[in-house]
Structure 1
Amino acid sequence: MSGSVEAAAGSGPPEGTGSPLEGAVVAVAGAAGPAGRATLLRLAQAGATVVAADADVARLAEAVDAARYAHGGAVVTGETVDLLDLDATRAWADRTEKEYGRVDGVVHLVGGWRGSKSFAATPLADWDTLHDLLIRTAQHTSLAFHDALRRSRNGRYVLISAAGASRPTAGNAAYAAAKAAAEAWTLALADALRKEGGEGGLPAAAVILVVKALVHDAMRAERPNAKFAGFTDVKDLAAAIAGLWDEPAEELNGKRLWLTPQP
């Protein structure tokens, strides 16, 4: 099932931002968390029309309102979508392209974490949970928006991954394996886009941004003495996401871009 929380302001994006995102239409999946809020704000600031989705209606409305009122000339909408339902996700993609005439980006921020004290103590139920949150939702958004991103001719599919996918630790077996699988799926999408490119160049790019972990202002306020070494601030993540439209698709497609020191 899917429903909508409308929060659009004005009839178009702010004028004169000078950003490649000005006038672009970007869908953000998993938009209600701190990373989502920062991303909605940054994309709206750059002049994009932002179409946000999340399963948490109240938090999604708050995130959409914050972006809407911070950038009064922007169009920011929110919709509750069951991303575990491929038909519902396809319907979201179709509605978005029909309403705005195009889709120029999908930012996949759906996350989740489960860990254990040791490898042997890993509950396999954690794998089931993370499979749905981290893999299945990425499969559905990439399949649902693939054709629209190709039609954009400047589309971006962005997956946020974790350093642990490259160097799993004993207590993070399920999490690291799920992140690695989501990365592999995204790299397969990148290969498809590469093969679909013709003389006109790649129609879109699929790219992975790698973080150790994310930090935001509320976390710092709760733990004022913590160093959060190697963590990426959600505002820096949002800036990195927006910056992906500054680079040619050929230079981004299939890349793992590190926002934390690479191990």
Structure 2
Amino acid sequence: MTVSIAGRTVVLAGATSAAGLTVAEALIAAGARVIATGRSPGRLAALTDAGAETVVADATSLTDMTALAAKFGQIDGVIPLVGGWRGGGGLAGQSDEDFDALLPALQAVRATSRAFDRALQASDAGRFAIVSSTAVARPLAGGANYAAVKAASEAWARAVSHGFAKAARDSGGPLRAASVVFRAKVLDAETLAGAIIGLWDADAATLNDRVVEL
């Protein structure tokens, strides 16, 4: 069964980047209710102006994300958008400091998926999606930290998909929630926005555990 994104409630966690704003604007234009989070009230202002409901919250914090899930109840989509790049210098240049700076992307995937798991499974079309990189398929020495964090994020998202499928099997009901990985070589915000909207154009059984190259 395919459905429309119109009328759906979508959480964009860590959405204060330019890409986050573009995605929020596209979702709102498509008829979705957007809840956008960020740690800085000032950086959330543009999202508020675009029509999103904004909440000051840390996407890497399970406590913050659990509180958000309890506050809003029905949620149909969750997209963690915490990202960033550090790299270069070959393998010797892969510093602990750079790795620590990249780690919040994985932490956001973990926190959001755990906090909203029940809500997404309760939706008749729950969607969880992460943004990854083609670097996972061909990691380079100068981007080893980055590729490792993205690979771990993909593994977690695939575990989410398994959880969705197992819950459906155990209940004897249809699969209604899907976890998807978007991979991009260079992220184009408008392309990402279109792909996110398209998550509600296919049924969960088709989408779950898919890797989609943008």
Structure-2-length-normalised TM-score = 0.94
**Cα separation, 2, equivalents of 1:119 and 1:42:** 39
Residue aligning to 2:130? 159
Matched, 1:123 2:123: no
Residue aligning to 2:121? 150
1:92 is aligned, of 68, 77, 96, to 68
2:76 is aligned, of 90, 104, 107, to 104
Residue aligning to 1:42? 26
**Cα separation, 2, equivalents of 1:27 and 1:129:** 23
Residue aligning to 1:55? 39
Q: Does the residue aligned with 2:90 lie in a helix, a strand or coil? A: coil
Deviations 1:183-215 (A, max 9, x none): 00000000010111144311300001110122x
Residue aligning to 1:180? 151
Deviation of 1:77 (Å): 0.4
Q: Does the residue aligned with 2:183 lie in a helix, a strand or coil? A: strand
**Cα separation, 1, equivalents of 2:177 and 2:41:** 30
Q: What root-mean-square deviation, in Å, do the aligned CA atoms of Structure 1 and Structure 2 show?
A: 1.3
Q: Does the residue aligned with 1:31 lie in a helix, a strand or coil? A: coil
Q: Tell me, yes or no, if the aligned pair for 1:153 and 1:202 is still in contact at 8 Å.
A: no
Q: Tell me, yes or no, if the aligned pair for 1:196 and 1:203 is still in contact at 8 Å.
A: no
Q: Tell me, yes or no, if the aligned pair for 1:27 and 1:107 is still in contact at 8 Å.
A: yes
**Cα separation, 1, equivalents of 2:134 and 2:38:** 24
Q: Does the residue aligned with 1:78 lie in a helix, a strand or coil? A: strand
- 1:118 is matched by which residue type in structure 2? G
Alignment of 1:1-263 (within 5 A): 20-65=4-49, 67-68=50-51, 76-97=52-73, 102-131=74-103, 133-198=104-169, 199-214=172-187, 233-259=188-214
Deviation of 1:64 (Å): 2.6
**Cα separation, 2, equivalents of 1:93 and 1:204:** 16
Q: Tell me, yes or no, if the aligned pair for 2:10 and 2:78 is still in contact at 8 Å.
A: yes
Q: Which runs of 4+ in 1 moved over 2 A?
A: none
**Cα separation, 2, equivalents of 1:208 and 1:52:** 20
Between Structure 1 and Structure 2, how many residues are aligned?
210
Structure showing greater Rg? 1
Deviation of 1:124 (Å): 1.5
**Cα separation, 2, equivalents of 1:212 and 1:107:** 19
The structure that is helix-richer by fraction is 2
Q: Tell me, yes or no, if the aligned pair for 1:55 and 1:81 is still in contact at 8 Å.
A: yes
Q: Tell me, yes or no, if the aligned pair for 1:116 and 1:171 is still in contact at 8 Å.
A: yes
**Cα separation, 1, equivalents of 2:178 and 2:209:** 7
- Structure 1 unaligned regions, length at least 5: 1-18, 69-75, 215-232
**Cα separation, 2, equivalents of 1:54 and 1:257:** 26
- 1:95 is matched by which residue type in structure 2? K
Deviation of 1:122 (Å): 1.4
- Structure 2 unaligned regions, length at least 5: none
**Cα separation, 2, equivalents of 1:30 and 1:85:** 11
